[in-house]
């Protein structure tokens, strides 16, 4: 059985395990609990009524967080010709063609998001064994295979993120830094909720949202009343 630190144990004693908290209460509690020397990330953990082993119950999509993620996102672009200059002007941190593909194969992954133009789809297939396990493989569904480089780069740098359920049907999504205003974090949470609802898989049956927990990087998971999500009020 894992042992908790004294700090973590003291925090757990301040939580009422019999309660489901409102989103605002949970965020404010995590803010008050935070005592580490770095800025923690607010994380959302959502158990959905999905069994991902069935093709029609898989959930993978993207969401643009209206208040951003608080993370500096390094974007790499694989393209050619005039698109190389377009990607650079749009703010890409790393730009290349076959040379960048070779660098990635050699293990140089100095980026957080990789975008490719459709004409490189066949060539980037060889990167699957390197990028796949890290969730960095470009795909049209995630918006990382596109000719609209300017818009794609802008969205990912300003807070667009990809999410998907794990093998147990649970989503784990970071939605901002704990230093954000509570209302800003609530807006990001609302955006995620709307995206999850709009992208509900066709094979989903019965109760879709089963449970929701909010936590910080070094904080406890706080259970949230899912029915209160749609009642979030922000200024």
3-state secondary structure of 189: helix
- pTM higher than 0.85: no
Q: Quote the pLDDT of residue 235.
A: 47
* Pair of tokens at residue 220: 């406890």
Whether residue 167 sits in one domain with residue 53? yes
Q: What is the CATH number of the domain that holds 168?
A: 3.30.190.20
In a domain, 6, yes or no: no
In a domain, 8, yes or no: no
- Residues facing residue 46 across a β-bridge: 171, 212
Q: Quote the pLDDT of residue 18.
A: 77
Q: Can you give the residue range of the structural domain that contains 101?
A: 75-158
75 contacts 96 by C-beta, under 8 angstroms: no
For the beta carbon of residue 63, count every other beta carbon within 10 angstroms. Answer: 21
Q: Quote the pLDDT of residue 25.
A: 94
Please tell me the total count of domains within the chain: 2
Which ranges of 34-125 would DSSP assign to H, the alpha helix? 82-89, 98-105, 121-124
Pick out the chain residues at pLDDT < 50: 1, 235
Q: Quote the pLDDT of residue 1.
A: 46
Q: Quote the pLDDT of residue 142.
A: 86
């Amino acid at each position: 059985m894992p042992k908790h630190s004294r700090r973590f144990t003291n925090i757990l004693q301040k939580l009422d395990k019999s309660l489901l908290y409102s989103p605002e209460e949970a965020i404010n509690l995590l803010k008050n609990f935070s005592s580490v020397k770095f800025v923690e990330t607010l994380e959302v953990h959502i158990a959905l009524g999905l069994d991902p082993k069935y093709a029609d119950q898989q959930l993978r999509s993207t969401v643009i967080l209206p208040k951003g993620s608080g993370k500096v996102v390094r974007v790499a672009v694989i393209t050619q010709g005039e698109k190389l200059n377009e990607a650079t002007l749009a703010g890409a941190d790393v730009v290349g063609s076959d040379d960048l593909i070779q660098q990635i194969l050699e293990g140089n992954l100095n980026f957080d998001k990789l975008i490719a133009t459709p004409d490189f789809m066949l060539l980037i297939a060889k990167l699957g064994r390197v990028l796949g396990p890290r969730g960095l493989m470009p795909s049209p569904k995630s918006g990382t295979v596109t000719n609209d480089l300017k818009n794609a780069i802008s969205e990912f740098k300003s807070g667009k993120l990809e999410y998907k359920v794990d093998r147990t049907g649970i989503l784990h999504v970071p939605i901002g830094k704990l230093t954000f205003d509570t209302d800003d974090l609530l807006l990001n949470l609302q955006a995620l909720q709307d995206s999850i609802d709009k992208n509900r898989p066709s094979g989903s049956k019965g109760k879709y949202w089963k449970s929701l927990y909010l936590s910080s990087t070094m904080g406890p998971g706080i259970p949230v009343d899912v029915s209160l999500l749609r009642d979030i009020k922000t200024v």
